Each structure stands twice: as C-alpha cells, then as structure tokens.
Structure 1
Amino acid sequence: MNKPSAEKVRELERRREAPLVTPTDLKGDATRDIAAAMNGILADVFALYIKTKNFHWHMSGPHFRDYHLLLDDQADQLYAMTDPIAERIRKVGGTTLRSIGHIARTQRVLDNDAEYVDPLDMLAELRDDSKTLAASLRQAHEVCDEHRDIATTSLIETWIDETERRTWFLFEASRNGGITGH
C-alpha cells in the first residue's frame, strides 16, 4: 500500500483545520471584504424577499390582483438572487449566512410587522427599500472592484439593473394608485 506524501498529509491537515476554505487567488483581506459586503447584500435580499411576500399575502383593495401578482413576481426575482450571491461568497473563499438570526443581525432593510399596511404604502415602502438595495449593491460593487473581483462585479451589475427595474415598477404602480404590468 502506498504511503501518502508529506505534501498530501499537510493538505489533509489544513483541510481538517479549515474545512470550508476555498482555493482562490484573492488575498485574505479581499476575501474578508467581499464576503462582508456580499453577506450584507444577501441579508438585505432575504429581508426584502420576506417583506415582499408579507405584502403580497396581505394585499387588499381594488387593485388586489395586479398588486398581488406584481409582488409575487418581484419576490421570485429576489429569491432567485440568493443562491448566486451565497455561492459567489463561497467561491471567493468566504462563508455565508447560516440562519434567520444571522440574517436579522446583518440586514439593513427594516422589517414591517404592522397588522395592516395600506396597499400604496406597501408599494412605496418596497420602492424605497429597492432604492436602498440598489445603493448597497453599488457600494458592494466598489468593494469588489477595489479587489479586482470582476466576476462578482459583473453579477452585481445585473442585480443593480434588476433592482432598478423593480424600483421603477413599484414607483409607477404607486403613483396615483396606478397599475403597472409585469
């Protein structure tokens, strides 16, 4: 039976000490900074997803169907962002959010636990949260750009565009009680 080389043994020992370390050419400070920025984005996206579903479930009024469908579509878009964000964090060597509590400690998007929220207030709140998310995405882009993480900046650019589209739809839907398409 072949005995493992000294290098193989050292690699196995390193893996036992830090089993989630992902090989990357990024330096440690880049991994730390990018993971922190993107975990903040991930927490905000989860918080905005839950708020959007909350408002979707509790929508009422004469434009119920249109608003209900709009928010369902937007929630789907937000949820679709979560896995690519988390996987990107892992690809650059970071670790990601682990629980609802971790999200709550990290999120910057505020929850809304009110018993009743007027439909137009729901749309306006989600619009403002989406604008805030776009600004946070731009800040994360700067962090990633500083560390020459082109892959993450490329993804962020797409997410900014999608977030701006959601903001626009929410703005148009909330103007004078208007309805927008999806």
Structure 2
Amino acid sequence: MRSPGSTVVVVVGSVTDVILRELGRLPNVQALRLTEQGAPTLREVLGAASRPFLVHDLDPLAAVAAAWRGFYDDPSTLSLLRVETESALTAFAAGESVLPDYYLVLDPEGIDEAESQWWLGVLAAIAPSRVLPVEAATAAVQRMLGALPTGRAWPDPAGWLRELHLQVPDRAGLL
C-alpha cells in the first residue's frame, strides 16, 4: 500500500495552509491537508504518491495522543487509551494508516505543553531521528526536508504503543 519511492512526513503543531500550499509548489514535494472535510484518504494518497516527499497533516496517532494525555488527567480512562492504541494498530495492520517516516513539529515553543511532551518526549524517545522540531515557516520546513537525518526506523509499534500507560508526562523520554 505504501509508495516505496516517497518519504512520508507528517507536519504537526502550527501547520498552516500557506506552508502546505508553498511546499506543494516544489517539484519534489506533494503536500496535502488531509484533515479537511472531503480530503482523500491516506490510503488513496499513498497509493498514488510519486514525488520524493509526501507531506501531510494527518497524524495517525492523534487519537492515541489525546487518550494518553487524558489518561494522565484522569487515570480511570486507561481503557480509552487501550482502545485507541488497538484501533491504531488495527489501522496499521490493515494498511489504512502508516507511521510516517518523520514527524516535523512546527513551532515547538508555541504548542501546548502536553502536545510537546507527546511529540518531543514520548515519540522522540522511541525514534529520536524521526521526530524533529522546526520553525513554522516554509523555508525552514523546506531546509529540513533537504537535511532529514538518517537513523533507525520506528520500532514495531505494537510494543511501545501498548506500553504508553507507563510513559509519564514531564518524564517521557528521560532515562
């Protein structure tokens, strides 16, 4: 299902239509806002991707992240975190969703602290070279796309997603 020739990048944080539109004008980037009503499905986009970079705003772990944050506000919601985790794993297994090659966290200083702990704590601890902070400007994102680091791929999500309840905000990613 995944296009082997495209590097998939999810932009999160302060994502604007302007940034995605300007990135989409580059000859090697297909940039889409997949969170809009009527947008194509990720499966459709991945199947048709032909440019070296596919950049979009549909975070496949958004519901898991929200459930993780909610769990620490109210520990009685552990079952919701487990449901969202299993839903994400089912979507990955069915090819309806994929972990991106990279997350670019736009304007990390300007995002909510809990979101920062998710992306730059939990996810960055799992695969440090796959979650990168960047200024929320087209030129900065473009430079980052040209300088994406290599590193180990995401480990099997089944293992670390099912252990999210052990990741404590403010300590996520710390040894």
Q: TM range, normalised to the smaller chain?
A: under 0.3
Q: Which has the larger Rg?
A: 1
**Larger fraction in strand:** 2
**Larger fraction in helix:** 1
TM-score, with normalisation over the residues of structure 1?
0.26
TM-score, with normalisation over the residues of structure 2?
0.26
